[in-house]
Amino acid sequence: MIRIHVLEGAALVWSAEDAREIRERFRLVGTLVGALARKPRQNARLGLPLQLLPEEARLLAELGAAVLVRGTETQPPAEGEEPTQAAEVEAYQRELEESYQEQQRLAGAERGALLAQLAERIAQGRARRREQRGETPDTVEDSGLLDSPFVLPRSSMMVQLPTARQRPGRVEQVDWTSPSPDWPHAGRPAHEARYRVFRELWGRGYYLSGGSKFGGDFLVYPGDPLRFHAHYIALCCPPGAPLPLRALVAAARLGTGVKKTLLLCSPGTGGALAFTSLQWSGLQ
Amino acid sequence: MDEPGCAAPPSGREQEPQPRGSPCGNWMATHPKLTEMMSLDVADSTQVYAAFLVYLDLLEGKNWHDVTCVGLAELQLVCLRGREREAENLQVVVPTPVHMSFTHQRLREIMQKACIPQDETDSPLSVILAIVESDSTVVYYKLTDGFIMPDPPDDTEDMDNKQWRKKRRKLLR
C-alpha cells in the first residue's frame, strides 16, 4: 500500500519504491521537490519527496492503491516525553562516538600497514638525508614510524546521513473524502471539476502533469514526459463560467507559440465531458 | 465636429448618437452587404458591424471565394461562409466583437448549429472564431470538437548550422 503523506494540502511520497511504482504501474508522474544530499545548492536535479497533484493523490486513493496519512509527531513533546527524547539524543551521540573510535582504529591499522609496506624505502630516504646532513650513520633510529599516536581528525570522520527514516514515524490515516486542515480539497467545486477532467484524460491513456508553466490546468502527453513533448494544454472550464475573449486569445496564442493545442474541457451533456481544441487558424 | 472620412450630414437630418463599434461614415452605412446583414435582424449592431469587417477582410485581405452571410436566429449571430481557395470546402467563420464573452457551452452550441454538415460525416465539427478589436484588427482561431494534435516540430535539418552547433554545445556542457 502506497503511503501518501499530506501536509496542508500537499501530497508527498517519501519512499523511492512507492515513487517508482506510481510512475511505472499507475502512469502518474508527479514532481520531485527535495534537495539532493550530495548536491544541495541547485535545482536542476531534485530528489525525494515526490509531490503529487491533488488529483493524482485522489486517483490513487480512489483506486485503493494508496492511503493518505498525516504525521502525528509534529507537536512539541508533551511533559512525560522529554526524557525519552533526551535518551534518544544520548543514544545517537554514543553511536557517533563508537563509530568515530572504530574509524580511528581502522584508519590507524591501515596507515600502519601502508608504512610497513614502504618501510624499506623510508629507511633509504632517511639514510640519504642523514648523509647529506653529515650525521653519523650509526645513530640508532627508532623504528619510529609511528612517531606520534595516530589521531583521526574529527572533521575527516565519515557520518551517515539517512535518507529514509530509520524507524517508521507515527502516522494516522486521513480521510480523503472529507475536508481537513491537511487535505482541504475534498468537496471543493474547483477541485471536483479538475478531478473529473483528470480522471477522464488519464482513463484515455494519456500522461498528465501540472500545466501552470503554460497557463493551463494540465499538460497532456501521449507517453512518458521523459520521452515526449506535451500535445495539449488542458484548461478546465466550469460550466457556465464565461471565458473573456482576450484571455482565450492569450491562451491560444501561447499554445501556438509552444506547439501545443489548447484543449477546453468541461462537463457536457449527459454526464460526459466535452473537449474543444483551439488552434491558430493559420490565415495570414 | 469634423471627422475625417465622414461627410457632414445635411442640417435637416436628425443625429442619433451611434453606439461604439458601429459605422459612422456614410459609405459604410449604405454598403449593400452591411444593409443586408442588418436586415437579417438576428443580432445587435456591434455583432453585425464585426461581421461586416470580417466579411471585408476575408474578401479583400485574405482573398477568399464565395463568401456569403448567414443569419442564425437562435444564436443571435450573423455568420459567414466561404472558401479559402477555389476548390476547397466551405468553412464557417463566426465573427464576434472582443468584449463579448462566451462560456464553453455556448461555443459548443455555436459549433453545432453553425457548422455545415460535410459529406464525410466523420470529420469533426469545426468553426473559425474571428475576434474583432475596437481598432478593426481581426484574429482568427479555429475551434474543433475533440482532440486535434498540434503540428510536429520543425525538422532539425532546416535549422541554421550555427544555431544547431550552439545548441549541441550547450547540451553537452
Residue type, B135: D
pLDDT digits (tens, 9 = 90+) for B111-121: 988 887 665 66
B29 touches chain A (CB under 8 A): no
Q: Got the DSSP string for chain A?
A: -EEEEEETTEEEE--HHHHHHHHHHH----EEEEPPSSS-S--SS-EEEEEEPHHHHHHHHHTTSEEEEEES--SPP-GGGHHHHHHHHHHHHHHHHHHHHHHHHHHHHHHHHHHHHTHHHHHHHHHHHHHHHT--TTPPPP-TTS-S-----GGG------SS-SSPPPEEEE-TTS-BTTBTTTT-HHHHHHHHHHHHHHHTT-EEEE-GGGTSSEEEESS-TTT----EEEEE--TT-EEEHHHHHHHHHHHHHTT-EEEEEEE-GGG-EEEEEEEE----
Of A232, A259, A266, Cβ closest to residue B104: A266
pLDDT digits (tens, 9 = 90+) for A98-132: 999 999 999 999 998 998 888 888 888 888 888 88
Q: Return the minimum-mean-pLDDT range out of A2-16, A183-197, A213-227, B118-132.
A: B118-132
pTM tops 0.80: no
pLDDT digits (tens, 9 = 90+) for B21-77: 555 667 888 889 898 988 888 888 899 999 999 999 999 999 999 999 999 988 899
Of A232, A245, A281, Cβ closest to residue B147: A232
Q: Closest-CA residue in chain A for B133?
A: A246
- How far does A47 lie from chain B, in Å, by closest CA? 22
Give me the pLDDT at residue A196, please: 93
- How far does B29 lie from chain A, in Å, by closest CA? 27
Q: Closest-CA residue in chain A for B98?
A: A245
Q: Closest-CA residue in chain A for B143?
A: A278
Residue, of A55 and A238, whose pLDDT is higher: A55
A·B CB contacts under 8 A: 92
What is the rounded CA–CA span in Å between residue B139 and residue B95?
Answer: 10
pLDDT digits (tens, 9 = 90+) for A32-76: 999 988 888 999 999 999 999 999 999 999 999 999 999 886 555
The whole-chain average pLDDT of chain B stands at 81
B100 touches chain A (CB under 8 A): yes
Nearest to A234 by CA among A192, A267, A201: A201
Give me the pLDDT at residue A86, please: 82
Of B84, B98, B144, Cβ closest to residue A276: B144
Partners of A241 on chain B (C-beta within 8 Å) are 103-104
**Mutation site, B57, B141, B148, B171, interface A, largest A CB count within 10 A:** B141
Of B99, B105, B111, Cβ closest to residue A239: B105
Q: For residues A272-281, give the mean pLDDT.
A: 91
A219 touches chain B (CB under 8 A): no
B103 touches chain A (CB under 8 A): yes
10 Å CB burial of residue A6 (0-12, 13-18, 19+) is buried
Give me the pLDDT at residue B97, please: 94
A183 touches chain B (CB under 8 A): no
Residue, of B19 and A228, whose pLDDT is higher: A228
A84 touches chain B (CB under 8 A): no
Nearest to B131 by CA among B72, B37, B47, B43: B47
Give me the pLDDT at residue B12, please: 45
Q: Is B164 helix (H, G, I), strand (E, B) or coil?
A: helix
The three cell numbers locating residue A31: 514532481
The whole-chain average pLDDT of chain A stands at 87
Give me the pLDDT at residue B120, please: 60
- How far does B158 lie from chain A, in Å, by closest CA? 17
What is the rounded CA–CA span in Å between residue A189 and residue A178?
Answer: 13
A244 touches chain B (CB under 8 A): yes
**B13 band by pLDDT with thresholds 50, 70 and 90:** very low
Q: Closest-CA residue in chain A for B144?
A: A277
What is the rounded CA–CA span in Å between residue A218 and residue A55?
Answer: 11
**Mutation site, B147, B149, B171, interface A, largest A CB count within 10 A:** B147
Specify which residues A71 forms β-bridges with: A171
pLDDT digits (tens, 9 = 90+) for B75-97: 899 999 999 888 888 899 999 99
**Mutation site, B47, B63, B104, interface A, largest A CB count within 10 A:** B104
Of A237, A245, A279, Cβ closest to residue B104: A237
- Interface confidence: ipTM more than 0.90: no
CB A237 within 8 A of CB A264: yes
Active-site amino acid positions of A: 221, 229, 260
B59 touches chain A (CB under 8 A): no
Q: Got the DSSP string for B7-33?
A: PPPPTTS--PPPPTTS--SHHHHT-HH
- How far does B149 lie from chain A, in Å, by closest CA? 6
Residue, of A277 and B25, whose pLDDT is higher: A277
User: Is residue A244's pLDDT more than 50?
Assistant: yes
